[in-house]
Amino acid sequence: MIFIDKNASLRSLPAVGRLLENPQTLATFADFPLALVSQSLAEALTQLRNLWAQDPGPSELEWAQMTQFASILARAKRVLEAHLSSHLRPVLNLTGTVIHTNLGRAPLSFRALQAVHNVASQYSNLEYDLDVGTRGSRHDHVAKRLCALTGAQSALVVNNNAAAVLLALRALAQGGEAVVSRGQLVEIGGSFRIPDIMAQAGVILKEVGTSNKTHLRDYQQALGENTRLILKVHTSNYRIVGFVHQPALTDLVELARQRQIPLFEDLGSGALFDFPAAGVGDEPTVARSIKAGVDLLSFSGDKLLGGAQAGIILGRQDLVTKLRGHPWMRALRVDKMTLAALEATLTAYEDPELARREVPVVRMITASYQEMAEKVAGLAKAIATDEVLSSVLKIDQVDAVSRIGGGALPLTDLPTRCLQMRARDLTAKELFDQLRTVPPVPIIARIVHDAVVADPRTLLPGQEGMLLDSLRHWAQSKTTALQE
């Protein structure tokens, strides 16, 4: 291969100023600010210099083509469009993990999306009481609905459940002791550890029992003059099985009342829908804890509830009022979009069957194996009858299990049916990597043994077509590459 004199070729690159003086440049970038155009041209020239510095570098013919005026403008336009495009973008979740933290947890229902659009695109009564014409409270928009659905006296919403736990500890137990079972000193994602949070809240941790067994008498013996709170943490993201024991919630409630010490339960994922009644897992509902007499509890809004990220606090009126008046509350409050999404999501729970139909997380978790099998059969048929797709993809239909994710129901397997994909001349890892970057919508699946497995449980309605479009785009690019 013949190479050019790189020093001479580098000097031949035009300066940004010269490019900007050309009328063709102004016409190409007429809709963009001059500052961004200049930056994009500079970046395009930098890319060419980097190519020039490579060893081996471009051939004389390749370099001549890349440094043509039109080619430089085209490169600069790609740079500018990439700069202006959103870095946060939709993906197709085919992992089978319903509450996938890395993929944004719960997708919102259509009702919730409409509500967010309505309040975000115009002014709203976020903190204005329309009945009396004076300032209102943002918390009122969801408090009554939460209380009606759970039986709680009062409700409060902060920006996530970690904030809810931190606020409750700080407001109710600062400077005193909080008693918690050793078997409930959990760590969740992001190194959120109960002992660390208690320290940050200014609360003294008093452990009782052992990692596998804690009895009611352990709590009774630990309570003293400096005890401010009994903390119960639902171990939603793991289970200890075998030789284990924890006091019944009703026994802890009775003890807390006898000693006049608040009982606070961190439910973690939290569920308004009765999943056990639908044949899925053993997750307790929020209403069950309220009915048992827990003084205060908290849970996430974007996990089993299927709404926006939020920390929902429910319980006694006096305790919630104390939290609402705490100085940290302003730093932890939620915005109008979160409240709109949460209120709309809660509306669906007034009828369990409506929640099952409307809330994506609930619908996915309760979907049957037969539904998944029908989805997979339809996708497999579409791929098999597509000339391009069938030429590069080998498809099988296999049984597997879906996961709920989000630190919820770790022992619950959801039987499912999946597409097993193999590509000609590619390893499973290579196929996986290509699919996760494919346009128009990246495909995120999982690798099982030597194949890429796509679980349709986590596809939203209408996304089957999007999946096929992305697969076709990948297949066409692969076919073109093979022909070259």
User: pLDDT class for 2, splitting at 50, 70, 90?
Assistant: very low
Q: Which domains does the chain carry?
A: 6-84 (no CATH), 92-99+366-483 (3.90.1150.180), 110-358 (3.40.640.10)
CB atoms inside a 10 Å sphere around CB 358 = 20
Average pLDDT of the segment spanning 345-366: 97
C-alpha 213: how far from chain center = 34
Cα–Cα distance measured from residue 103 to residue 363, given in angstroms and rounded to the nearest whole number: 18
pTM: 0.88
Average pLDDT of the segment spanning 319-344: 97
pLDDT in tens, 182-202: 888 877 666 678 889 899 999
C-alpha 168: how far from chain center = 24
**Per-residue pLDDT, 9:** 63
Tracing tokens 């013996």 back to the chain, one arrives at 221
Helices (H) and strands (E) in the chain, counts: 22, 18
**Per-residue pLDDT, 7:** 62
User: pLDDT class for 170, splitting at 50, 70, 90?
Assistant: very high
Please state, for a pLDDT cut of 90, what percent of the chain lies above it: 78
The amino acid at 324:
R
User: pLDDT class for 403, splitting at 50, 70, 90?
Assistant: very high
Cα–Cα distance measured from residue 29 to residue 37, given in angstroms and rounded to the nearest whole number: 7
Residues in Cβ contact with 68 at an 8 Å cutoff, skipping those fewer than 6 apart:
none
CB atoms inside a 10 Å sphere around CB 30 = 8
User: pLDDT class for 411, splitting at 50, 70, 90?
Assistant: confident
Residue 245, beta-bridge partner list: 213
Peptide bond into 56 cis (omega under 30): yes
**Per-residue pLDDT, 5:** 55
Tracing tokens 């202006």 back to the chain, one arrives at 84
